[in-house]
Amino acid sequence: MALAANILMGLVFLIHVYIFLLETVLFRSRGRKVFRLSEQQAEMLAPAMSNQGCYNGFLAAALAVAFLHPDADTARAFAVFGLLCVAVAGVWGAVTVQRRILMIQTLPALLALAAVLAAAV
At 50-74, the pLDDT tens digits run 999 999 999 999 999 999 999 999 9
Span 100-119, mean pLDDT? 96
Cα angle value 15/21/27 (rounded, 5°): 125
> What does the pLDDT look like over 28-44, one tens digit per residue?
999 999 999 999 999 99
Whole-angstrom distance, CA of residue 27 vs CA of residue 40:
12
Q: Is residue 13 very low, low, confident or very high in pLDDT (cuts 50, 70, 90)?
A: very high
**Model's pTM, two decimal places?**
0.91
Q: What's the one-letter identity of residue 25?
A: V
